[in-house]
Structure 1
């Protein structure tokens, strides 16, 4: 995925308020089980899983199988760096 495509995916992922709340919950609970994240919301598990999929596709979170459980955590993707690079491109500085 190119930088531009990833940034577009991140903007899309963060454009939804519920998805931002899911991301905040992941940040609040490092290495949480996916079921713990789902239990924190009053929407269906399917809805939370859909949000987690979009966040993962954008590179903001990652999931890992640990035995029979799936754990979720933030990635180390540098959002601020990507935004600053994009802003420089828009100003013609790159």
Structure 2
């Protein structure tokens, strides 16, 4: 949401938006942890296998790409944080 739109909202509505933001952050953290677990398991299985083919590492690119996209997405909620700070709701 744009900052102008957020300024029009009441305090209760801003707190609801804050809850949505927190849920999104939690989901991103869980998704990143899950993908890192997949990477660790995959690399560990590859390292311990007797037949070390480098082609096995190609599927490991997908979790890396997803992690990168989750981490590097622009923070769309900076305006929400600014409005919450202005109204002392944090």
TM-score between the two structures when normalised by the length of structure 2: 0.28
Higher relative contact order at CA 8 Å, sep ≥6: structure 1 or structure 2? 2
Larger Rg: 2
